[in-house]
Structure 1
Amino acid sequence: MTAVELTVADGIGHIQLNRPEASNTVDMALATGLREAVTAAAADDSVRAVLLTGSGKRFCSGGDIRSFVDEEDPDYLQRLAEEAGAAVMALEDLAKPVVVAVQGAVAGGGLGIMLGGDLIVAQEGTKFVFAYPGIGLTPDCGVSYLLPRAIGQQRALAFALSGRPMSAQEALAQGLVAEVVEDAAARGREIATALAAGAAGAFGDSRRLLRASWTRDRATSAADEARTLSTRGQGEEARALFAKFLGR
């Protein structure tokens, strides 16, 4: 059994964190497996949308503390953080829409993995936990970058410093997730199926433009918007949808 599995069917690349016995905590195998699965999904032209899930009762409970303790290499934590961070950045950089379905618990680095996606669906009862200070550590997996962008700086700081878990309904109210449902995996697949059946190329470029805007000035964003719009407008996907819209 591999730590991360990628299956492709019906235009959907399903990436599943697959350490249910360890609550899908992040060790080197999971971090590397996630990066490799994302890279494979990016390179596969048959993948039009990505669905990210975690097997078992919990989506991802953060770092694998046992591996932190057992590993004798003093540089292990840095290497792990770098590999996990690279996996999340690869997820952010995908030119394809990403749906994330979470359940049970999302803690520590699991927050960063989750926020690497676009549309997050949470199952009722899911708990979100910053977690790091409880074991004397600080954010990794892009959490310090992605969390304030998702919910705002004050809310992110309150979440980080209070130690109080956030419920699924609180996460919805604060903008951390897009939906709260009874069956996150089923709803996530429903959304991914709709995205794969739609203008997946336009979805991919739209998510890229929105994400890139955080680190660009207004003029650079405008130039990229115009360039991307023009390129898309000359492509087969847009041309077919133009004709459909005009009833031809």
Structure 2
Amino acid sequence: MYSFRLAKDQAGNETQTNITDNRYTYDSKGRLNSVDRYKNNELYKNITKFNFNDANQVTSTYYADIVAEINSGGFISKVTSPDGTVTDIFYDEIGRDIKEVANGTYIQEIETLEDNGEITYTEVENPLTATYIYTYEGNKVYVNIVQTEKNFGTLKPGTTTSEYEYKDKITNITYELTVDYTKAGIYSSEPIFRCYIYDWMHIIDWKIKAVSNGETEYEQRYDYEYVYDADGYLTESKRTTTNIANPLAPPYVLKTLYTYE
């Protein structure tokens, strides 16, 4: 799988940048075994690895330096990231991701005006929590996220010095995804309706909006296009990112090519 950003040079010709080469390997039963990243046709690092039992359930999985725990159903139930953030994941009776709860920390840079007039900067670490709730309606997936940054520092209005007031910052983030159920999961072991929403395939469009204290922090939309060969295999996908909050920003295009060996 080759992914790259599409850009245009001064002559209007398309150029490819940020090229990555991910290769998927499967075991004798057709189960996704590992994902490896290559650079210049040489192995760079392993991205993902899965181990299975005789019942075709995942017994362990590795996401580079992320530690994942597996529940009795073979689904990822807890993820610990390198920065110490722990995410617990919950599923409904048919195996769909319905809730994720993340607990970790965030770092904020606080500036201080010293007596000599110089400004110094200090990194302050405080707790962060985020709860994701998933709902499914037809070919739509809705995700409501409530993120809380404890003791967030904000410069006091009307002050010219480094005077902060500290209170919890609550950000509400909403996702609205449209998924093509007729294609998802047919030709691969992709984790559709599992955790890691960013890895889902066959998303048609995805709208994202974040609001904090009544103000929109960011709002964007992803639009996806897919190309298949004569046998119905996915050969190309393209994701166009539009910054809704800033209409003057040029769209960002990521293109991925798929080959089968």
State the TM-score, normalizing by the size of structure 2: 0.25
**Larger relative contact order (Cα-Cα within 8 Å, sequence gap ≥ 6):** 1
State the TM-score, normalizing by the size of structure 1: 0.26
Hey, which of these two has a bigger chunk of helix by percent?
1
Hey, which of these two has a bigger chunk of strand by percent?
2
Structure showing greater Rg: 2
